[in-house]
């Protein structure tokens, strides 16, 4: 990993984690529910979404007192979506990030409710931000609802379920990922830009960057499912292939998927160069995501 990015992460990861913990600990709620919420929130993860929000502020050479708090709200929504996705009636996963999934520890009912509570709470967090004008908070909440709901993340999950056991086209696959993972990632970038009071033209460029990075991120996920398991298992068949899942390598071949990943990465970077020559952390974070191995 690039040294600048390493320093950036070292600086921000621990305040992000603290903020998540503080936010949940201050809730007045049944102990068991808070435990279930906290379990998945502190289960690790790359904190990609809060990091993108912070990298956008960095890009505009700004800081914002509410950046960690807003980042934690987004991370809670991401976490709720993982808890619900892992449920037996959905992906039925027993492990996530090397740990038992929420419902394996707390039972299905509490896992569903912990997800519901994280989702609900995150809107309250945005509403209570101390250093953001009400008009901006309303914008942030409206966009968060769209990015994470039926028109975004939840809709993408439904499209993904519908695509199971049938072959779809690359544009259809893009629509799934643009919604399922892209919408909330793009929101993180937009949220950073809103905290930085970015102008309309800058927002447009960042939107394009977010679109391409979101897809590059997903393609890399698909590639890792093949190459990651090759390394560990000594065979090429990962879970995606075994379940006949629609992935970029399945639709484009492994080489084709890698080319597509590079193309999206380059598109993302060039859209930012329209605003500013020195991209800094937004380039390094993008490169990290494209080259990560987990």
Angle at 89 between CA 86 and CA 95, to 5 degrees: 25
Binding map of a second copy across residues 15-34, x = CB under 8 A, - = no contact: ------------xxxx-xxx
Please name which of 122, 80, 121 lies closest in space to residue 102, comparing C-alpha atoms: 80
Helix, coil or strand: residue 9: helix
Q: Which is nearer to a second copy, 155 or 214 (CB)?
A: 155
Rule CB under 8 A: which of 236-275 touch a second copy? Answer: none
State how far the Cα of 287 lies from the Cα of 120, in Å rounded to an integer. 33
Total residues at the site for a second copy (CB under 8 A)? Answer: 52
Binding map of a second copy across residues 140-159, x = CB under 8 A, - = no contact: -xx-xxx-xxxx--xx-xxx
State how far the Cα of 40 lies from the Cα of 118, in Å rounded to an integer. 10
| Residue 107 interacts with a second copy (CB under 8 A): yes or no | yes
| Residue 48 interacts with a second copy (CB under 8 A): yes or no | no
Q: Which stretch binds a second copy (CB under 8 A): 101-109, 215-223, 236-244, 286-294?
A: 101-109
Q: Which is nearer to a second copy, 37 or 74 (CB)?
A: 37
Q: Which is nearer to a second copy, 5 or 183 (CB)?
A: 183
| Residue 120 interacts with a second copy (CB under 8 A): yes or no | yes
Q: Which stretch binds a second copy (CB under 8 A): 43-51, 102-110, 239-247, 284-292?
A: 102-110
Please name which of 176, 170, 128, 141 lies closest in space to residue 156, comparing C-alpha atoms: 176
For 112: left if phi > 0, alpha if psi spans -120 to 50, otherwise beta; the answer is alpha
Residues paired with residue 284 on neighbouring β-strands, in sequence order: none
Q: Which is nearer to a second copy, 24 or 286 (CB)?
A: 24
Residues paired with residue 100 on neighbouring β-strands, in sequence order: 95
| Residue 90 interacts with a second copy (CB under 8 A): yes or no | yes
Contacting residue, 16, 20, 37, 213, with a second copy by CB under 8 A:
37
| Residue 134 interacts with a second copy (CB under 8 A): yes or no | yes
- Tell me which long-range contacts 105-110 makes (C-beta under 8 A, separation of at least 24): 105/36, 105/39, 106/32, 106/35, 106/36, 106/39, 110/32, 110/33, 110/36
State how far the Cα of 113 lies from the Cα of 200, in Å rounded to an integer. 38
Residues near a second copy, by CB under 8 A: 27-30, 32-34, 37, 80, 84, 87, 89-90, 107-110, 112-113, 115-117, 119-121, 123-124, 126-128, 133-135, 137-139, 141-142, 144-146, 148-151, 154-155, 157-159, 161-162
């Amino acid at each position: 990993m690039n040294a600048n990015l390493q320093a950036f992460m070292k600086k921000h990861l621990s305040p992000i984690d603290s903020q998540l913990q503080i936010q949940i600990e201050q809730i007045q709620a049944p102990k068991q529910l808070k435990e279930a919420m906290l379990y998945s929130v502190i289960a690790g993860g790359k904190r990609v979404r809060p990091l993108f929000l912070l990298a956008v502020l960095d890009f505009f050479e700004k800081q914002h007192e509410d950046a960690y708090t807003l980042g934690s709200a987004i991370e809670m929504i991401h976490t709720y979506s993982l808890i619900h996705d892992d449920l037996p009636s959905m992906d039925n996963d027993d492990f996530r990030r090397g740990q038992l999934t929420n419902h394996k520890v707390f039972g299905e009912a509490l896992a569903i409710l912990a997800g519901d509570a994280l989702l609900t709470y995150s809107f309250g967090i945005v509403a209570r931000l101390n250093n953001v004008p009400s008009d901006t908070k309303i914008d942030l909440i409206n966009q968060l609802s769209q990015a994470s709901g039926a028109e975004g993340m939840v809709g993408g999950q439904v499209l993904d379920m519908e695509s199971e056991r049938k072959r779809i086209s690359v544009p259809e696959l893009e629509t799934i990922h643009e919604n399922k993972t892209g919408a909330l990632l793009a929101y993180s970038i937009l949220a950073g830009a809103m905290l930085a009071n970015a102008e309309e033209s800058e927002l447009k460029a960042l939107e394009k960057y977010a679109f391409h990075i979101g897809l590059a991120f997903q393609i890399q996920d698909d590639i890792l499912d093949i190459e990651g398991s090759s390394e560990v298992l000594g065979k090429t068949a990962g879970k995606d292939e075994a379940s006949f899942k629609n992935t970029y390598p399945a639709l484009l071949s492994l080489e084709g998927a890698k080319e597509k990943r590079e193309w999206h990465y380059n598109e993302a970077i060039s859209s930012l160069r329209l605003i500013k020559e020195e991209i800094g952390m937004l380039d390094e974070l993008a490169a990290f995501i494209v080259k990560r191995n987990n």
